[in-house]
Amino acid sequence: MADSVSSTSLVRSIKNKAKKIVTDHKHSNLILDLLKHTQSDDDDTVCASCRATGKVFCHYISTGHLLDTGKSTVAEEDLSKEDQFCAWLKEQFTTAWEILCDHLSNPSEPIAECAMATLVSLLKAEGKQQSSHGFSTKLIEGILRQLLSSEVDQSGLIDLLPAVFEAWGEDNGEICSLCLAHLKNLLKEAEKSPTDKYLSNVWRVLKKIASQELKEKSKRQMTATVCNFLKSQMTTRLYREILVSISSIMEKMSNPLMLTDFLTESFNIGGAISLMSLQGLFLLMTQYNLDYPDFYTKLYSMFEPQVFSARYKARFFMLADTFLTSTHLPSYLVAAFAKRLARLSLHAPTPALYISLPFIMNLISRHPACEVLLHRTEGPSEFDQDPFLPDEPDPKNSKALESCLWELQTLEKHIDPNVAEKAKKRRIAETDLSELLETTVSDNMVSMLPHILTYFMDGRKHFNQKEINNPKILK
């Protein structure tokens, strides 16, 4: 209780000292007390002294005492008392902002956020002056240096960066450009093997800068900085995070095609990495005229049984649905995707069928030429063998258009009546997959439970295996 009273009393004293300094400059020596309190062990005391220090120096910025007069090289004894006072103030100000920047890495979140808010207030104060922003460059560099910590996850403070960008008003282009310039230099200073926390902090800072309206100069800086950053050795976790969000960076680069090598190499890795590089590559193809003829062949190869159990299956199907939306795609290509997914659906887990069946019908509804997969008006009414070549890697040579979706007939006998009903519907209409992809596996399993019990009690079989191996292709 006594400590609480003591802390409250000290906070009140700090506020009074700041008020005295601002009221009369003869009390300016009290600045030393304020700076001393910024090193206290008590969080409330440190925060109060940081705010008081910011208030005092914002006042001196507004009065012009911290403007660069060009007399810094003059011997102290040759300066007037006023100039000597200004020189002393600048020394204390340098100490103050260095302490504030150090506090950005303080393990106490309230202290770190208070220090950030105080630094922003100093930037705003200088932004109101018609000066050359003399100390702001050092301030911004100091902030970024602490945000790019090698030991501390600075995501909380990085979320506050927009306040820094907006410190000089609506036109934030100059500060964004300064940030990118410092970021580029700090990356050069980094160790040969920077830590994962350091690289994660860099990426988050880049995303925050990319969220702003950038001028052409800043876009060129963004391109150079991102390309340099992507050369770093990083963990798989960060690599995936970058691939998922790189599209937001891409549109703020002067030349997004500089990412081609990074994305194509990622696409060739396979697995989840390939999946997450899809969107970036597709944007380069559709918006920046990248010529990547193997894109759909690679996408076709990703339709494997394990895609239904992949952690990112919802994202995969949403992206694949988007990539196959264009009506300019050749019918053989769309038919190959529909047929391959139908074949996979025969052995897919039940929840996956709630996605795959509407996906197949979406493909056919967008591409009327593929309706022959559902009903033919020409050709034989039955085949002894499906002409589709499931092991053919090139969709162009898969012979999908010569086949039909007999798999849907088989799925009409599925244990889950909801799946069976979906398989029976031949309605050529597009379905919004977003709601289906939000449905969890457990939700689908709960709805299936009564039917599973009935299935085992009746002793019925899921599918007739002979029917799967020897399908009759109906006209």
User: Higher confidence at residue 445 or residue 281?
Assistant: 281
Q: Which amino acid is at 12?
A: R
Mean pLDDT of 280-305: 89
Question: Of 88, 110, 131, which one is at a domain's C-terminal end?
Answer: 131
Counting every residue, how long is the chain?
475
pLDDT in tens, 310-343: 777 888 888 888 889 888 899 999 999 999 999 9
pLDDT band of 387, cuts 50, 70, 90 = very high
Q: Is the pTM of this model over 0.85?
A: no
pLDDT in tens, 72-101: 545 555 567 888 888 899 999 999 999 999
pLDDT band of 443, cuts 50, 70, 90 = very low
pLDDT at 138 > cutoff 70: yes
Q: What share of the chain is helix, strand, coil (3-state, %, to 5)?
A: 70, 0, 30
Mean pLDDT of 281-305: 89
CA distance 299 to 247: 19
pLDDT in tens, 199-245: 999 999 999 999 999 999 999 999 999 999 999 889 999 999 999 89
pLDDT recorded at residue 78: 54
pLDDT recorded at residue 429: 60
* Nearest Cα to Cα of residue 238 among 296, 192, 180, 199: 199
Burial of 333 (0-12, 13-18, 19+ CB in 10 A): buried
pLDDT band of 434, cuts 50, 70, 90 = low
Question: Of 131, 150, 166, which one is at a domain's C-terminal end?
Answer: 131
pLDDT at 291 > cutoff 60: yes
What is the span of the domain harbouring residue 95? 1-69+78-131
* Nearest Cα to Cα of residue 303 among 319, 291, 290, 292: 319
User: Higher confidence at residue 111 or residue 429?
Assistant: 111
CA distance 279 to 285: 10
CA distances from 40 to 44, 45, 143, 360 (A): 9, 7, 21, 66
In the three-class reduction of DSSP (H, G, I as helix; E, B as strand; rest coil), residue 310 is classed as: coil
> How many structural domains are present in the chain?
2
pLDDT in tens, 401-421: 999 899 988 998 888 888 888
pLDDT band of 4, cuts 50, 70, 90 = low
Domain contains 450: yes
Burial of 438 (0-12, 13-18, 19+ CB in 10 A): exposed
**Residues in CB range of 24: below 8 A, 6 or more apart:** none
CA distance 319 to 221: 30
pLDDT band of 380, cuts 50, 70, 90 = low
Give me the chain's average pLDDT, please: 83
Mean pLDDT of 336-365: 91
Domain contains 64: yes
CA distance 296 to 394: 9
Backbone angles phi, psi at 216, to 5 degrees: -60, -40
pLDDT recorded at residue 423: 83
CA distance 335 to 426: 16
Domain contains 266: no
- Per-residue HEC secondary structure of 166-235 comes to CCCCCCCHHHHHHHHHHHHHHHHHCCCCCCHHHHHHHHHHHHHHHCCCCCHHHHHHHHHHHHHHCCCCCC
pLDDT recorded at residue 65: 82
Domain contains 244: no
Domain contains 144: no
Question: Of 114, 131, 148, which one is at a domain's C-terminal end?
Answer: 131
Domain contains 296: no
Domain contains 303: no
pLDDT recorded at residue 48: 95
pLDDT at 470 > cutoff 80: no
pLDDT recorded at residue 14: 94
pLDDT at 469 > cutoff 50: no
pLDDT in tens, 182-204: 999 888 887 677 899 999 999 99
Domain contains 87: yes
Mean pLDDT of 364-393: 82
pLDDT band of 445, cuts 50, 70, 90 = very low
